[in-house]
Each structure stands twice: as structure tokens, then as C-alpha cells.
Structure 1
Amino acid sequence: MNVRKKVAFYTLGCKLNFSETSTIARGFTEEGFDRVEFEDMADIYVINTCSVTENADKRFKTIVKKAQKVNPDAFVAAVGCYAQLKPEELAAVDGVDLVLGAKEKFKITDYLNDLSKNDFGEVHSCEIEATDFYVGAYSIGDRTRAFLKVQDGCDYKCTYCTIPLARGISRSDTLENVLQNAKEISDQGIKEIVLTGVNIGDYGKGEFGNKRHEHTFLDLVKALDAVEGIERLRISSIEPNLLKNETIDFVAQSDTFVPHFHIPLQSGSNAILKKMKRRYLKELYIDRVARIREVLPHACIGVDVIVGFPGETDEHFLETYHFLNELDISYLHVFTYSERDNTDAAAMEEVVPQKVRAKRSKMLRGLSVKKRRAFYESQLGSTRTVLFEGENKEGYIHGFTENYVKVKLPWDPGLVNTLQHVRLKEIDADGLVRFEFVKDEILL
């Protein structure tokens, strides 16, 4: 009876989910479980779910089958956003034994007294309004980069989004706790920290979302910049209306925060932005990009866009296409709109046919390739610092410059988790950048 149980994890969705999976996994380790890879034989498989797109929902069943194929007798638990939104639906999936909501997932080991297989999944899920607490988290998957959660939930009411229903109101970690987590990450030799959350620019709302504590997102950025031992800090997705000039200007003079911003746009049409209930118009977005380019000409700027939103005509789409084509940005993340239950958009008329959505998505993905190529070309000849990653991918080691240019080199384990000065030389056939070392020494 003293044999240690094995547990494996699979994460669907965003960086925030990865940070939380990692924290949940450390809880298992502290309780005496051994963590193994998801492809390995385990006693328990934990799947952290996502509900942002229809595809993420469908993938869940595939992942459950994958676990059952390795060990048909294993106990399968589902946590995360999909588990909060549709617990009964997940519980009905063949092979699922336990479904935990937003409040319960961080106490998962409390629900594992009996690991017998169930005919129907057991559900423990609170109403999202009861999610009145904050749990800090960070991920340590590879040695080069960690995702640090600083905020959770969202008070925005975008008409297409289920995240407020899945994660509750906006609330933040204390500054002291964020700094402590950052120090723990740094102490493990990790060179880069990516700040993550649902709406990180809203940092500062207290535990119950109805009051502000004394710190703002700018305070957070300044405090993290002063933490000893962190080589790189990267801001993940931040709303354009919450990305203030003061933050951009601070990043511009920081040696630690890298020149990379990911700013959701969703549409280049003001008419569609209003239907989405976004909190800005495209003119503000133009101002944000212009400010970044003014103080950080070499910055990488990524953009989220949704195509096929209800009421998006050909004219609206072309307005978005031309807006992005003319904007000095670096790449796109393109999302095809999918109807989500209990959202205002799901009840809207003027539904865009799936074939039209697919065509528009393909056009914007093509534009993204063009934009990334142009950005990479603009960086050729410049000297940058690359952080090399730890995975051998088909005989190559990859890395990213501070401004998110992806480079590659034949596999060299001595480069893993090191920072190197390089001069970017040319773009390879696969779209990645070849380079030469400026000097041989490793930057510690």
C-alpha cells in the first residue's frame, strides 16, 4: 500500500492555464504523488480544460481517450474553464470520473479519497459568483521560461466571451506574493518570466473585485523590474485601453522588460467593435501602436483578431484587413468566431456562414505570414540577444530574441538556457532566422 501513485497532466488553452496546471501539479507532489508525462502509465490523469473556442471543447474527448488508451483503469479528472461552464456535459464523457469547478480545482487532492472508476463523473462545481478568492500560480515546464499568474477573472462584458462566466470577477494577487513567486522562479535558474492573467492590465483589483488595493499595473511592472536575478520579463496579452503610455515608456527604458507587446484588437471596424462591446475604438489602437513605435522602433507587436462575428459584412472584414495591412504590427493571432452558450453574441442575427468565416480566416493568416516576414526582414543586420530553449526539435535548437524573432541552429546542448549575443543574417526557407554569434562568451 506504500507504492506512490503516479499523476499526469494535460493542459488545453492559454498561458494562464499552464501556470495553474503547474501549481496544481506541485500540490500533488507535496501530497506524495509522482508526476509523469501524459503519454506514460499513470494512476490519475488531470485535464485542464479551455472553452474559448469550439475546437478546445472537442479536443477534450480526444485527450480522455488518449489517457484511457494508456491505462483504461486510470482515474480521469477534468478541471478548468470548460469544467466550470459545463460540468455535467464533461461528467457524461465516457471515462471521466471527476469534474471540478473554478473554486475547487486548487484543492483537487481533497477529492481523491477513492480512485475507483465511476459510471458517471462526480461533479463539484460552485456558482461562479462564489469564486471570491485568488490563488497565485506559476508554471515551470522547461528551464528557460515560466508563466507567472498575476491576475484572474474579468469584469468586461464582451459579447462573444465566456471567460467571466468561467473565471468570475477580476481580482489580483498581492504585489508581495507576485514578487515572492518571481524570486522563486529566478532562484531555479529560469531566465524569462511571462506575466499572465485573464486581463492583466486590470491588475490592482483586490480579492473580491469590489475594491482596489494600493498598486496598479505600472506599480507591478516597476517592482518586478527591480527583482534581482531575472534576466527577462515579458508582458503577455494586454487590452489596448489598459496599456498606458507610462507603461510603454517604462518598458522602453527597462533592461529587463523586453520590447514585445501582444494587444488584442478583435476587429478593425468600429461598428463591429461596438457590437462586441469592446472598450475602445480603432483610433485608440492606432495611438497605442504609434506610441510603441515612437519609443521602441524595433518592438514586436502581436495582434488578436476575430473573423466571422455576427453582422460582419464583407465591407467590415475588408475594413479590418486593410486596417491591419497598413498598421505597423508584426504578426496576427487569428480566431474564427464560434458561438458560445450564454453569450449575447450567440443570440445575434446576421450569422456569418462557416465557409465565409474560414475564407476570411485564411486571408488574415496569409496577412500574418506577410507581416511576420516583413518584421523579420526589418531586423536583419541588427544585434540581438537570444534565449535558447531546451528542446531538440528535429536536430535543431530554437530560441527567441528579446523582440520575439525566432532563430534556429543545429542542436547544441551547451546553448540550452543561455543568453547569447547574435547578429541576425538571413531568413531561412522555413521562415526562421539564421544568425552569427557576435562573441563566443555566454551571457550569464
Structure 2
Amino acid sequence: MKKVAFYTLGCKLNYSETSSIGRMFEQKGYQKVEFNETPDIFIINTCSVTENADKKCRKIVREAQKINADGYVAIIGCYAQLKPREISEIPGVDAVLGAAEKFRLVELIDTFEKTPLGQPAQVIASTIDHAIEYHTSYSLNDRTRTFLKVQDGCDYPCSYCTIPLARGKSRSDSIANIVNAAREIAARGVKEIVLTGVNIGDFGIQNGERKETFLDLVKALDEVQGILRFRISSIEPNLLTDDVIEFVARSKRFAHHFHIPLQSGSNTILGLMKRRYKRELYAERVAKIKSLMPECCIGVDVIVGHPGETQQLFEESYQFLNELDVSYLHVFTYSERENTAALSIRPVVAKNVRADRSKMLHILSEKKKRFFYEQQVDKQGLVLFEDEIQNGQMLGFTDNYVRVAVKYDPLLINETKAVRYDHINDAGLMEVTESEEEVLIHS
């Protein structure tokens, strides 16, 4: 029995796909092992979002060679689609598969041969317009939470982004298939499903035509028995409709937690980024959520240092974020990507300035998160505990994404418990006292 190991870089979507490809290998009789357990085959699923994609890929290939110099190394993922020839020149790489080919890896691997020393790897990568099929995927890394892919690709050509070039056009699974997948996941004892994709608010396009909507999807999933809660990973503000917000507010299973990309609080920069909304719409979305779900957690993606971002425009963005009633920021420092429109925009922001602005927003994020947690103290919530230990305590998340720490108890793993938020500890986690309710086991 040949052994295969996987390493995943990047987003939740990549994790869901790696997990599904791993199950394909297991079904073909391969033994799935950890990366350091001398596998015969190493599969590296890459990301292209940051400028370090090449550096990270090379490092993991080197580690694979140290573990098993005779091991076969295959590279898949976004970076593999964008730079297949470049990756094929990395010493130790044997095969590179593009977006349209990665789900055929288990069929093709038996025909692959170890690349002779000094020779480029085999490349099987079609142009991105061939990536038209949809492959249902979900992760099963632990019993508590699963990432379920519901959508792939993107039709939004933002000026800084290569994802449409790496994943192709927007396309989705059917609601029927996704509901079936959710039931399979529930049958494995998983309590929380995170819906993931490239642009999940654009859900519903099948074979180039819109057949269903994201609202249809959340309504159907809300009826799935056995899942404690669904969490929406990220959704564009222009696609987060009043209907979706209102449904989540009254739903049985959808978490009161939204992650909504903003990217900039300056309308000038939003225009240069080719985003499809202005900051006024974003503020309206936040206000609508908070009016219906005051305790709701709202996360924000923001990019600093995009070309054209003058000091005045950065300060405008910072002030907008400072005044928004949001709970935390995911801060990304702009990095140049080939074949993107942003490369032609001036002025270019110096890298040291980008770093300074990033630091300012990280500090702002910590303040936002602290304030959000302070608002929760003395309230009650339902925590789903995970098999994760930190400083002798086990951790879990509430419906509204408050991270809670309690004394370790193996009986609590993958169980829910009603608690009262007591205080915020030195690590920034919420410590709790037990409520009078017993442990709640979700059926």
C-alpha cells in the first residue's frame, strides 16, 4: 500500500479540496499519512494570494526531499495554474497540475514517473477557460468543524487579484448536492459547517446560467438535521442582501457572524480596485446587521498600500474603519501580482510605508476585538468545544465567534455547553463560568 501525504497552503477552500482529493486516494487504496511519515507521494496544494507563494512552495518541496528523497512530488492549486512552467523548474518537483486537472490526479498518478535529476517536471495544465467543471469538496480534518465548498471561481476582475486567472469563472454546486453533502458531514458527528468558496454570494451559477441563489441555499441548509450551526465564511457586501441578513437573524442554525470584505474605506481606492460598491453601502450592511443582531460578530478584510493610496486616502480609510461597528480586521499588505491591472496604477506605495500602515490597522483590529469581547462580558452563550488545548485549557467558539477558554475536560470535546462570560484573560480569550444548564448534546 503506497503512502500519500498532503500539505495545504492558503484558504479554507484549498483545505476543503485537499481533504476531498485525499479521500479519493484512500478510496483507490492509498494510505493517507502525515507529511513526516516517509510517504511515497507528496501532494502540495498551493496558494497565489501573497508574493511568498514561490518561496513557500520551494521550502515545502525541500522538506519533502529531506523526508524521502525518492518520494514523488506533485504540485496543485492556484500557484500551479498561474506559474506551471516556473514550478516545473523547482528541483524535486515531479508533476504540476492545473485547475482543470487537479481532481484527476488520482487517475493520472499511476502513469507519472519520477523526474530525472536536472530535468523539468511534467506539466499538465490547461488554460483557465478549461476549468469549467464543479467538484464537490469538504474537509474532515477534525470532528468539530468542516469547510464545505459551495462555489468556485470568480467573475469579479478586481485590479489587485489573480484568483479569476487561477480558478476561472464563477460556478456552483446544486443545492440538492450541497444538502446531501451536509447530511453526510452530519452523519460523521461534525457539529459546525463553514460555507466556503471564492465568491459565495454569487452562488447559483451552473453551466454558465444562474439556476439558484445564495438565499435559496441558506434556507435549505437551515433545515438540515444534525448540524448545530452553519457559518458563512466570507461574502461580498453588494451580494449580502437584506433578505439574507433577515433570514440569518431568525434562522435555526446560521451563526450570527459575518465576514465581509471591504478592502478600503476610501471610495477613491475602491474605484481603483474595481470593487463593485462604495463605502456607504458597506456601512449600510453593517448597520442592518447590528439593528437585527446587536451581538453579531462582523469581520472585515482590508488591503493596505494598494497603488494610488496616498497618505490622505489611507487616513480616510482608517477613519472609516475606526468608526465602523465591526469586531476585527483581517489586514493584507498589497503585493504586486503579474497580469493584474493594479500594476499600471500610480503612485506606487513604498514597501516600508505599506508595513507601517499594516501595523496601524493591526493595532486597530486588536482594539476592535477587545471592545467586542468587553461587550459580551456577563452575557451567556453556547460554546462548541474543540480538541485544542492552550496553556492547559481547552478552547471553543460561540455562535458569534467569541473564543472561549475553560479547564480541559475530554468529555467536552465536540460538545456544546451554555456558559456565562466572566472575564477576558491575558491571552485575549474569554474565560467563563458554567451556567446552571447541563452540557447540551446536539442531536
Where on the TM-score scale, by shorter chain, does this alignment land: which range? Answer: over 0.9
Q: Give deviations 1:252-299, integer Å, cap 9, x for gaps.
A: 011200100000000000000000000000000000000000000000
State the AA in 2 paired with 1:20: E
If the length of structure 2 is used for normalisation, what is the TM-score? 0.97
| SS class of match (1:390) | strand
1:23 equivalent to 2:23? Answer no
Q: Which residue of 2 aligns with 1:212?
A: 210
**Alignment gaps of 5+ in structure 2:** none
Q: Which residue of 2 aligns with 1:153?
A: 153
Q: Which residue of 2 aligns with 1:176?
A: 176
CA distance in 2, matches of 1:233, 1:393: 25
| One of 241, 246, 258 as aligned partner of 2:243 | 246
How far apart are 1:128 and its partner, in Å?
A: 0.4
**Contact 1:13 1:56 (C-alpha < 8 Å) held by counterparts:** no
CA distance in 2, matches of 1:128, 1:329: 36
1:135 equivalent to 2:135? Answer yes
| SS class of match (1:356) | helix
CA distance in 1, matches of 2:376, 2:277: 31
Q: Give deviations 1:103-161, integer Å, cap 9, x for gaps.
A: 10001012212554213211000110111211111111011000000000000110000
**Alignment gaps of 5+ in structure 1:** none
If the length of structure 1 is used for normalisation, what is the TM-score? 0.97
CA distance in 2, matches of 1:87, 1:56: 13
| SS class of match (1:439) | coil
1:222 equivalent to 2:219? Answer yes
CA distance in 2, matches of 1:131, 1:179: 24
1:343 equivalent to 2:343? Answer no
CA distance in 1, matches of 2:52, 2:378: 40
Identity between Structure 1 and Structure 2 (%): 58
CA distance in 1, matches of 2:24, 2:383: 33
The equivalences for 1:321-400 within 5 A come to 321-400=318-397
CA distance in 2, matches of 1:113, 1:302: 44
How far apart are 1:394 and its partner, in Å?
A: 4.3
CA distance in 1, matches of 2:252, 2:432: 23
| One of 416, 421, 433 as aligned partner of 2:413 | 416
CA distance in 2, matches of 1:39, 1:405: 34
1:71 equivalent to 2:68? Answer yes
| SS class of match (1:140) | coil
How far apart are 1:346 and its partner, in Å?
A: 1.8
Q: Which residue of 2 aligns with 1:48?
A: 45
| SS class of match (1:17) | helix
**Contact 1:50 1:57 (C-alpha < 8 Å) held by counterparts:** no
Q: Considering only aligned residues, what root-mean-square deviation do their CA atoms show, in Å?
A: 1.0
**Contact 1:44 1:74 (C-alpha < 8 Å) held by counterparts:** yes
Greater mean deviation of Cα atoms: 115-124 or 273-282: 115-124
How far apart are 1:164 and its partner, in Å?
A: 0.3
| One of 232, 236, 257 as aligned partner of 2:233 | 236
Q: Which residue of 2 aligns with 1:123?
A: 123
| One of 419, 422, 430 as aligned partner of 1:425 | 422
**Contact 1:388 1:416 (C-alpha < 8 Å) held by counterparts:** yes
How far apart are 1:69 and its partner, in Å?
A: 1.4
Q: Which residue of 2 aligns with 1:256?
A: 253
1:166 equivalent to 2:163? Answer no
State the AA in 2 paired with 1:195: L
Structure 1's 72 and 117: CA in aligned 2 closer, same or farther, altered over 3 A? same
| SS class of match (1:222) | helix
CA distance in 2, matches of 1:69, 1:381: 52
CA distance in 2, matches of 1:253, 1:425: 27
CA distance in 2, matches of 1:393, 1:55: 29
